[in-house]
Amino acid sequence: MQAIQRTSPVAASLLMVAAMAIIGVIDNFVVRLAQDIGLWQFHFTRALLMLPLVCGLSLLGLGSIRPLRPGVVVLRSALIALAMLFYFSALALMPIAQALAGLFTSPIFVLLISSLGMGQRIGPWRILAVAIGFAGILCVLQPDPRAFDAKVLIPVAGGLFYALAAVITRAYCAGESTVALLGGMVLALGLAGAAGLIGLALFPIEPVAGPAGFVARGWVWPMGGAAPWVVLQAVGSSLAVFMLIKAYQLGEPSYVAVFEYSVMIFGPLFAWVALGQTLGAPQILGVGLIAFAGGIIALRSG
């Protein structure tokens, strides 16, 4: 059965593009829920909704939810959770194009970690990809040395932790099922949300109103207008990850990974059409450069 699935690159690419389209749309609405609730409540409540859906993936035969190496999966899940906390924090503070650009620096960090930290050799094509990707990051984030705003580094930090998780996944999680890894990530984010809520209950911080207070806001009840967006995130994320899992089952990973970068088209495009967020010419160029660099890395890694 596995051999038959591996011969369906068209289906794999369509599933991956569909998954990225869903993520590109739903992540635009994080700023809406960030007006009413906080980062920690969002992840806690979303995890409560997603965990039954993840168990459903296991019941559908997509893999065991029980990890083979619990310690490694816990470490990977913690790193992924940190990456997502930084990424979703960035979504509340900046346009989605900038947040995605920061998160998708992860392939560049993977190469640097593999080369400098693990002594692996990388060829000239992937060195060129790192340079292209870095230029794209500068185009999208547009850091101004005269008025540096540290918030542009928030999604880049997410990319770093995502890269560390990717290195651990490749090195130590080859035998783990995708459902077990997904369940670990969701559980880690739920626990992080609970810890943040407890910390803010014990040591409350007066948050500013609106999305700018997303990280410092504790438990809010009733959730009001945020509840539909949390449900949208839970259901949409579960559906998108289901498609992502099937895509990697149907196609070669190095081929399928290239299509993940389509989220950098869908996210900003939906933000422009539905929400009126615009990108300047340098940012459009930067998105293209990062996607191009990621494609080179994925193909040469394969």
Q: Mean pLDDT throughout 204-217?
A: 87
Contacts 24+ apart (CB under 8 A), 11-15: 11/250, 11/251, 12/246, 12/247, 12/248, 12/249, 12/250, 12/251, 12/255, 12/256, 13/247, 13/251, 13/255, 13/256, 13/259, 15/243, 15/244, 15/246, 15/247, 15/250
pLDDT band of 26, cuts 50, 70, 90: very high
130-134, 157-161, 254-258: the lowest-pLDDT one: 254-258
Q: What pLDDT shows up at residue 284?
A: 78
**Mean pLDDT across the chain:** 83
Beta-carbon contacts of 33 under 8 Å, excluding residues fewer than 6 positions away, are 42, 225, 226, 229, 230, 233
Query: Which pLDDT tens digit goes with each residue over 81-118?
Result: 999 999 999 998 888 888 888 887 887 787 788 777 76
- Cβ atoms 262, 18 nearer than 8 A: no
pLDDT band of 4, cuts 50, 70, 90: very low
**Beta-carbon neighbour count of residue 222 at 10 Å?**
8
Q: Mean pLDDT throughout 127-149?
A: 72
pLDDT band of 6, cuts 50, 70, 90: very low
pLDDT band of 145, cuts 50, 70, 90: low
Q: Mean pLDDT throughout 109-131?
A: 76
Closest CA to 106 of 139, 77, 133: 133
Beta-carbon contacts of 282 under 8 Å, excluding residues fewer than 6 positions away, are 139, 140, 142
Q: What pLDDT shows up at residue 112?
A: 80
- To the nearest 10 degrees (0 to 180), the angle between helices 154-172 and 70-91 is 160
The per-type count for the chain, helices as H runs and strands as E runs, is 14, 0
Domain ranges of the chain: 2-301
32-46, 221-235, 248-262: the lowest-pLDDT one: 248-262
Query: Which pLDDT tens digit goes with each residue over 34-89?
Result: 999 999 999 999 999 999 988 988 888 878 889 999 999 999 999 999 999 999 99
Q: What pLDDT shows up at residue 287?
A: 75
Q: Is the pLDDT of residue 146 over 70?
A: no
pLDDT band of 3, cuts 50, 70, 90: very low
- Cβ atoms 65, 179 nearer than 8 A: yes
pTM for this entry: 0.85
**Beta-carbon neighbour count of residue 199 at 10 Å?**
13
